[in-house]
Chains A and B, each alone.
Chain A
């Protein structure tokens, strides 16, 4: 009973335990904030990565596989699957209007089904919006300007369909590059993109160049040079095609936004010669020379014996409900594909085709961030060990200060273990106060981290989180109660550990010496 009374009195009447609690609070809060920010960062990366691949991906790169539309029908017939969408993934040399050449990943997508699988519309950047970026207090984001709403709506629609209107009322195929591909759209320090001033043509023979204000979806066309591969894996001649830009997309992952160009699926299929075509008799392949009825030699026309079905390299699949069950979804997709492959011997066997979750697809990136998170947590935990020593140092001096009290308690019959428990309990109480305070502080900081960052930035003129560097307009913090609970418990235990040695010292004090202590 005296433990509780003295713990309460010592806690409320002394400045030292308050300092110890403060140290525990700051260390606990710091670790929770770091964990929350890194966790939010990871979550943001994963979400961004998912935004272009869905939950599960069936992948047979370069060559592609036939009957994908039937596979999609079979997949969508399963109750666990929300939608599936075909795609072609390949690589191309992308030539920009000013002559720059970039190696990019090209993805042929079907706008409507791709939207159902990935929520692609959200990633399209150029569209009217009403919510300014946090730092854009003056609403300078051009997308906020009602004057541009009509243009932006058209561009948004163009992005969704990957087509742009052409003379004659028709729409022609277009591309949607990642927002960092062309370099014309400039990211403002306030966190939004705007038109940029750029070179729109390479130098001509006279050295002349055309420069101007560039709004990428209206002013830019991209020329893609790609290498088709036939169904047998043979490399065909390079094909080139120039596409207008319909819109740009932003996932928030720099590597994706910098190196990916989306193309209308059917158009890319044609370009890469993956569309349906007549299958010819091998004996009459083009170039075969025969003798005609007139006895003269001539080239024999290929003998069409069937149809070579259209191919896709990839099918993206989205499950119903939460994505936490991606592994289960992968098993279902594998099961469906296995039956599909049995029915279609010309498709890759189930054992060799790639079927992976969005996490598998982004394994390297996620693993890197997870390791960084772990490393940062370990480093900060080491720093937080200082709290243990701080509590130890404070308790050591408090035991010295309270030596006489210990003697009095012993004279009144308190046992050595009772005295030790008094100090350990006291340390735990400091830990509870400090760790709960740290948890509360961290919750406040994490849930208001962008406002706090904004306030510090405006007060000091220094913004630590620069969206031009991190490619997120806001700090992606995420408070997780479970993680915070672990840190709080660790904070309490650390304080108990810090109090342990001084508690032993207190218990071992000779009561007579303690009473005589001045």
Chain B
């Protein structure tokens, strides 16, 4: 059974008076432990697809009805709180521009996911354990010496590694990465991809969207998104 499978995904954005269709009935299926790259040019709808898979956005209704099944559960049409819970516990996001909170230290940024997932009482009760786990993750991505630094004090590569650690904080079965190397130089980007490969080897399911062929090549399977539709690579 696939970890996540989507069908008939359509999404249209309205720009002024013009409707711009971004996704036109996309289908995708990702097996547990797979490392999938979705390759597409800028504006092809790959980020939109990632947002739909991560329940940050909802697909357009239509016929045939859109479907996003996570494990055996349909996500389309579920309540906001169910989708919040899904994002908290099942999905880890990695963004092109890192999206770390600038006021928080590296460690606090990583802990943030656990704080949201656990709630005040549970987090406080096992705070030391969470801090230890977050520290381990940051050491794993090579930031053990940067725990108390703010994002502005980190390099681009370090920020992305911190974002990766944050994505893994709640041990989500699925990691969704949006152009994770898009804002990094080639060498730094390669190091990030090494981390992805290592995670994949340890059984992590990863979906990466990218416009970069080299990045896509690091994946186990490559899908192409052209004009809002999935084509075989």
Contacts and interface: CB of A to CB of B under 8 A. Distances in A.
Interface in A4-19: 4-6, 9-10, 13
A13 B152 CA distance: 14
Interface string B1-14: 00000000000000
B99 A413 contact: no
Interface in A313-337: none
Nearest to A513: B57
A412 B113 contact: yes
B99 A407 contact: yes
Interface residues of B, number: 32
B101 A408 contact: yes
Interface string B87-105: 1110001010001110110
B78 interface: no
Interface residues of A, number: 26
A191 B150 CA distance: 61
Interface secondary structure of B, over-half rule? helix
Given A1-B124, A515-B95, A412 B116 contact: yes
B118 A1 contact: yes
B103 A13 contact: yes
Interface string A379-408: 000000000000000000000000011011
B51 interface: yes
Contacts of B116: 2, 409, 412-414, 418
B56 interface: yes
A1 B101 contact: no
Contacts of B48: 512
Given A411-B93, A415-B84, A5 B99 contact: no
Contact of B80 (A9, A405, A416, A512): A416
A496 interface: no
Nearest to B95: A515
Given A1-B123, A2-B116, A512-B51, A404 B99 contact: yes
A411 B54 contact: yes
Interface string B116-132: 11111001100000000
Interface of A: 1-6, 9-10, 13, 404-405, 407-416, 418, 510-512, 515
6 contacts: A6-B104, A408-B100, A409-B116, A412-B88, A412-B166, A515-B99
Q: Lowest 5 CB-CB distances: which A-B pairs, in order?
A: A413-B88, A9-B103, A1-B115, A2-B115, A413-B87
Given A9-B104, A10-B103, A412-B87, 8 more contacts: A2-B115, A5-B104, A6-B103, A407-B99, A408-B101, A411-B87, A413-B87, A515-B56
Interface of B: 48, 51, 54, 56-57, 80-81, 84-89, 93, 95, 99-101, 103-104, 108, 112-113, 115-120, 123-124, 166
